Chain A
Amino acid sequence: MGLEQFKNRNVGTQNYTMVDAGHSPQGAMCQFKQVVKRTFKGELFVGLWVTMRSMIKALFANDMHTVKYPLEKLPISPRYRAIHDMLRLLESGHYRCIGCGLCEKICISNCIAMDTRYDENQRKEVSEYTINFGRCIFCGYCAEVCPELAIVHGPRYENASQQRAGFSLFEDMLTPIDKLNLQQEYDGFGAVSPNADENIKQTPLAY
């Protein structure tokens, strides 16, 4: 194995690159000119007229192009990738996650972490599980790699919060046990394809 990583003892030294952000006006006169130019260009009124036209149509001609969010929401595609859900097994109600760690491994923004342990029933138990939604880019790899269809993307896309890094724990994402009957089977990213049966070979069984 390579030993390079152990030879770098300059922990914390990184290379930063500055981004070219254009020029801002120099001096008071230039700033004033920019304000005047932007104010009296007239583009504002073009936009206002478009809005006005739609408003009149909506109010008087009942010709509406938008939905009344948040009172009204559009159905979203099953392939939409929003905040994750953790599903349960329908029969036993036990959570599906087996703690294999594949989601943790495949996550390209490195936002999934999990702790596992050997439990009393000699099974692998997920003792802690968290997703850092400040880093998650909703790529869907975790759902795709999950061998148990345990972690899936749910429909909850309203995740505005007061701080950038929001964490979700296992229990937050897990289907509440009393709402198990409402749990939807997921057929988005990572779900079994409709023709899956054609793609597998049978294993002989001696029973």
Chain B
Amino acid sequence: MSEVQTVDNMISITIDGIEYKAKEGEYILNAARANDVFIPAICYLTRCSPTLACRICLVEADGKQVYACNAKVKEGMEVVTSTENILTERRAIMEVYDVNHPLQCGVCDKSGECELQNYTLELAVDSQSYMIPDTKRETTNWSSVLHYDPGLCIVCERCTTVCKDMIGDAAITTAKRGGAELDKSYKESMPKDAYSMWNKLQKSVIAPSNGTGETNCSDCGECIAVCPVGALASRDFVYQSNAWDLKRVPAVAAHSSDGAQIYYEVKPTSITDRTEKIYRVTNEWNYVSLDGSARFAYDFQNTTASKDKAAFDAAIEAFKKAETIRFNAMITNEEAMMLQTLKEKMGVKLYNPEVKAFQTFLNHYEAASGNSLWTTDPDAIMKKSDFVISIGAALRNDSPAMKYAFNNVQKLNKGAGLYFHPVGDTLIPTFGKTVEVFTHKVGHEELALYLVLDLFADKEKLPEDVKEYIDSFKKTETKTIKEKEVKTVKEMVLNEETGEEEEVSKKVTEMVDKEITVTTNGLVDLLGGDASKFDAAFEKMMKKKEHFSMMLGEDLYYHEKAENIAKLVALVEATCDMDVVMTPPKSNALGVALICDLDDAQSGYTIGYNENGDFRLSALGDGDLDMPALNQQEGTLCNIGKRLLPTNAAVEYNGYELNDLMKVLVGAPELTIDWTAMLPTDRGFKAIAFDDLTNSFDNDGSDNRGYRLETSNVETDLPEVEKCDESALLEGEIAYRCNPARQFNDFTDKSHEIFEAFALYASTEKAEALGNKVEVVFDNGSITLDVLADEKITGDIVKVPDFKAAKGVYDLFGGSRYKTVTLRKV
């Protein structure tokens, strides 16, 4: 959590006679939780809007019964968590939840970690007073990963809430269940809240919101995580293991740069095979939300590895003659540090096409703004921003954390958003009513930043030439429009009763020609928006907005004018009262960017680490020497939140590690994690040993995982920016290097619960036009791909994935993310 709690936004409240401090404007339930006070609650999710389905969080605040999940604390408020009436209500609510709930705890996957079990015991429900005929509800599979058993569902709506408020897919909703009506006599005899909760519960069930039996979503599985009962489960996990048999290994999600907190849950594979296997991934869902790669791409370990001395010796020889080491972002900080040491001591080149552009962009940004790293993070955005702008990121694919933050701001902070991207997307506009999507031309990213400057900058601070440039887009026209005008006309009317003439005023509407001056913002039109409507829309968006944040994506790092863009970003920050977050492309790109001096190109004999090369080190089990995968090693990763996060080994590894090679080559400490304290402190790392790193969340949601990287800020002059270079515009058939959601690299592809194919993704119309298979021809080669339709894409740009290193997609695209290509039907 980045927001510093100051004394002045804290107020004091009393809960059950004890005084506590609470943040102003916080819900009673969250305030109680932050202070370790227990109030039962089933349907409420921290970071989402209150659902008010379970009604069990009833408390008395200043003598009035309220729901703790949606009543805000006030200075001096006195909260009582249980009165006689509240206890009666809660007991009745739990009895209702238990009515007709299948007595199959024995086989239920949730048994042992089930909130229905817990609260039934907590409230000591030992008998049942209510009854109703049960409704037959069939078990269904919603997607390739989601399994729903409506018989077990208590319709708390946590799944629908998280899907809408956090994930943004809104792929599931409550639907009609059918079945018996409640007995009328219950209305009188039952406690009031329990009755109304039951009335709703009895009518509802959860279903995909598109009306079919299948969800069309990103398959993140967050609904599974938040389900308090066994109703939602991963298809792969159903009846595989009891919760209590699994050992939790705290770790970091390896694939995206979110660095989300996860637990690998391990247990022996079977009775005959006692090697440990990862059965599932869980998370602290109150504080962190996972994407599909974090939750389902877990079994990517290198199982074939053994200590092959011959291969090891060959590797040593290879390193001795190597000129280049080519690697990617799937690497821990410690390993990156080792490679950097090799560079310093042996003079090898380090080549990393995934990270190089990002590193360069960071350097440009630092030079222009004086900030060593970006100034906010997705968590902070969710907590306080109410206006977010996304430029250059395929939000759905690149960075789940940014997508969630963008969506969450719309839903919870009554926020607004601007989304700039060349590839049209149908999901983003559904995040909120005040989200404007600009589908601009490839190469117009600079203009997007100029528009941001125009809309948000303090014009006093802007350099003259920038102001002039922005104004050059504005056209002032004098238009004659017809306008309705209401006129009051006085008439003399003869009053028939009195026979006298009276003056009566009448209202008459007339059409009048009027001359007005209209300023059209050419930038809006250039970026694919509609300038005539934008001004009004923007005015609406800006109402009551205080905190502005900007999200930047990978497109900008690979932009031809990356340096100018970095300067523009710095200018935005300096003049707009806006903070910025950048998404590191994939996994530990930030760690690599901070630790390694990367070279521009590879040359000579190359060692590929999970990449192509003359000698291949590989954690995929297909190289010349085996390496441990990220779920088989201890170490640290850096994420989009600018934190260094410790991760632990979940499964066994029997081969050599990079550190073993280092010992022979240049000398190294005993363990890989001994490198943790040696990470460069001048780049923001701290000299803290791995075992001293913490790894937890506090009850109030503060993140104590690892540590936050030290950032520096140097006062700098405003950067000199260039105008948008229109010559960089791409025309014709354009391919965009972008992975389908859930796929990031060879490791996600290896995982058995990830199904997204290595194919060309296009909008439905485009896919139809292209047929089943195409050859994508670049300047320097071509690749043949199956064509898949993604109905959430609009427009003509096609997406070419890069998650298979062996396909060499990075080389085809060269230094950019967009390329003009020829698509040939095959």
The answer on a CB contact under 8 Å between B180 and A206 is yes
Q: Quick check: is A148 within 8 A (CB to CB) of the other chain?
A: yes
Q: Known contacts A122-B139, A148-B106, A205-B131; decide if A101 and B245 are in contact (CB<8 Å).
A: yes
Stretch among B122-130, B534-542, B588-596, B729-737 lining the A interface: B122-130
| B37: min CB distance to chain A, Å | 22
CB-based nearest B residue for A201:
B127
Give which listed residue, A6, A104, A118, contacts B249 with CB less than 8 A.
Answer: A6
The answer on a CB contact under 8 Å between A1 and B245 is no
The answer on a CB contact under 8 Å between A105 and B242 is yes
CB-based nearest A residue for B273:
A115
Counting residue pairs across A and B whose Cβ atoms lie within 8 Å, the total is 69
User: For residue B248, which residues in chain A have a CB less than 8 angstroms away from its CB?
Assistant: 1
User: For residue B65, which residues in chain A have a CB less than 8 angstroms away from its CB?
Assistant: none
Which residues 213-263 of B have a CB within 8 angstroms of A?
Answer: 238-242, 244-245, 248-250
Give which listed residue, A115, A125, A129, A206, contacts B132 with CB less than 8 A.
Answer: A206
Question: Interface digits, A147-178 against B, CB 8 Å rule (1 contact, 0 not)?
Answer: 11000000000000000000000000000000
Give which listed residue, A98, A104, A105, A114, contacts B107 with CB less than 8 A.
Answer: A98
The answer on a CB contact under 8 Å between B270 and A115 is yes
| A196: min CB distance to chain B, Å | 15
CB-based nearest A residue for B648:
A6
Considering the chains assembled together, what is the distance between the CA atoms of A114 and B132 in angstroms? 37
The answer on a CB contact under 8 Å between B239 and A116 is yes
User: For residue B111, which residues in chain A have a CB less than 8 angstroms away from its CB?
Assistant: 100
Considering the chains assembled together, what is the distance between the CA atoms of A201 and B129 in angstroms? 11
Q: Known contacts A115-B271, A206-B180; decide if A1 and B106 are in contact (CB<8 Å).
A: no
Q: Known contacts A6-B249, A207-B133; decide if A105 and B270 are in contact (CB<8 Å).
A: no
Q: Known contacts A99-B239, A104-B245; decide if A114 and B271 are in contact (CB<8 Å).
A: yes
Which residues 115-155 of B have a CB within 8 angstroms of A?
Answer: 126-133, 139
The answer on a CB contact under 8 Å between A118 and B245 is no
User: For residue A113, which residues in chain B have a CB less than 8 angstroms away from its CB?
Assistant: 271
| A19: min CB distance to chain B, Å | 30
Among A102, A114, A118: residue with most chain B CB under 10 A? A118
User: For residue A130, which residues in chain B have a CB less than 8 angstroms away from its CB?
Assistant: 271
Which residues 423-476 of B have a CB within 8 angstroms of A?
Answer: none
Considering the chains assembled together, what is the distance between the CA atoms of A189 and B654 in angstroms? 45
Which residues 452-503 of B have a CB within 8 angstroms of A?
Answer: none
User: For residue B634, which residues in chain A have a CB less than 8 angstroms away from its CB?
Assistant: 6
Q: Quick check: is B687 within 8 A (CB to CB) of the other chain?
A: no
CB-based nearest A residue for B690:
A7
The answer on a CB contact under 8 Å between A203 and B240 is no
Q: Quick check: is B696 within 8 A (CB to CB) of the other chain?
A: yes
Q: Quick check: is B715 within 8 A (CB to CB) of the other chain?
A: no
CB-based nearest B residue for A104:
B245
User: For residue A129, which residues in chain B have a CB less than 8 angstroms away from its CB?
Assistant: 271
User: For residue B84, which residues in chain A have a CB less than 8 angstroms away from its CB?
Assistant: none
Give which listed residue, A3, A104, A114, contacts B695 with CB less than 8 A.
Answer: A3
CB-based nearest A residue for B128:
A203
Q: How many positions in chain A have a CB within 8 Å of any CB in the partner chain?
A: 33
CB-based nearest B residue for A206:
B131
Considering the chains assembled together, what is the distance between the CA atoms of A6 and B107 in angstroms? 31
Q: How many positions in chain B have a CB within 8 Å of any CB in the partner chain?
A: 33
CB-based nearest B residue for A117:
B239
Q: Quick check: is A9 within 8 A (CB to CB) of the other chain?
A: yes
The answer on a CB contact under 8 Å between A204 and B250 is no
User: For residue B241, which residues in chain A have a CB less than 8 angstroms away from its CB?
Assistant: 116
Q: Quick check: is A124 within 8 A (CB to CB) of the other chain?
A: yes
The answer on a CB contact under 8 Å between B240 and A117 is yes
The answer on a CB contact under 8 Å between A204 and B245 is no
Question: Interface digits, B730-756 against A, CB 8 Å rule (1 contact, 0 not)?
Answer: 000000000000000000000000000
CB-based nearest A residue for B98:
A203
Which residues 1-35 of A have a CB within 8 angstroms of B?
Answer: 1, 3, 6-7, 9
Give which listed residue, A98, A116, A201, A205, contacts B240 with CB less than 8 A.
Answer: A116
Considering the chains assembled together, what is the distance between the CA atoms of A147 and B241 in angstroms? 18
Which residues 666-719 of B have a CB within 8 angstroms of A?
Answer: 671, 691, 695-696
| A148: min CB distance to chain B, Å | 7
Q: Quick check: is A128 within 8 A (CB to CB) of the other chain?
A: yes
Question: Interface digits, A104-124 against B, CB 8 Å rule (1 contact, 0 not)?
Answer: 110000000111111000111
Considering the chains assembled together, what is the distance between the CA atoms of A203 and B99 in angstroms? 9
Considering the chains assembled together, what is the distance between the CA atoms of A117 and B128 in angstroms? 33
| B60: min CB distance to chain A, Å | 31
| B384: min CB distance to chain A, Å | 29
The answer on a CB contact under 8 Å between A128 and B106 is no
Considering the chains assembled together, what is the distance between the CA atoms of A117 and B671 in angstroms? 39
| B407: min CB distance to chain A, Å | 30
The answer on a CB contact under 8 Å between B129 and A3 is no
The answer on a CB contact under 8 Å between B107 and A100 is yes
The answer on a CB contact under 8 Å between B106 and A204 is no
Considering the chains assembled together, what is the distance between the CA atoms of A201 and B98 in angstroms? 15
User: For residue A99, which residues in chain B have a CB less than 8 angstroms away from its CB?
Assistant: 106-107, 239
User: For residue B131, which residues in chain A have a CB less than 8 angstroms away from its CB?
Assistant: 203-206
| A17: min CB distance to chain B, Å | 27
The answer on a CB contact under 8 Å between A124 and B239 is yes
Considering the chains assembled together, what is the distance between the CA atoms of A147 and B111 in angstroms? 14
User: For residue B244, which residues in chain A have a CB less than 8 angstroms away from its CB?
Assistant: 105
Instruction: List 15 extra interface pairs beyond A99-B106, A105-B242, A105-B244, CB under 8 A.
Output: A3-B695, A7-B691, A9-B671, A99-B107, A100-B106, A100-B111, A100-B242, A101-B242, A102-B106, A105-B245, A203-B127, A203-B128, A204-B128, A204-B130, A206-B133
B residues bordering A, Cβ < 8 Å?
105-107, 111, 126-133, 139, 180, 238-242, 244-245, 248-250, 270-272, 634, 648, 671, 691, 695-696
A residues bordering B, Cβ < 8 Å?
1, 3, 6-7, 9, 98-102, 104-105, 113-118, 122-125, 128-130, 147-148, 201, 203-207
List 24 A-B pairs, Cβ < 8 Å.
A1-B248, A3-B695, A6-B249, A7-B691, A98-B106, A100-B107, A100-B111, A100-B242, A101-B242, A102-B106, A105-B242, A115-B270, A116-B239, A116-B240, A118-B240, A123-B107, A124-B107, A124-B239, A130-B271, A147-B106, A203-B128, A204-B129, A204-B131, A205-B131
Q: Which 4 residue pairs are nearest across A and B when measured between Cβ atoms?
A: A100-B106, A124-B239, A206-B131, A124-B107
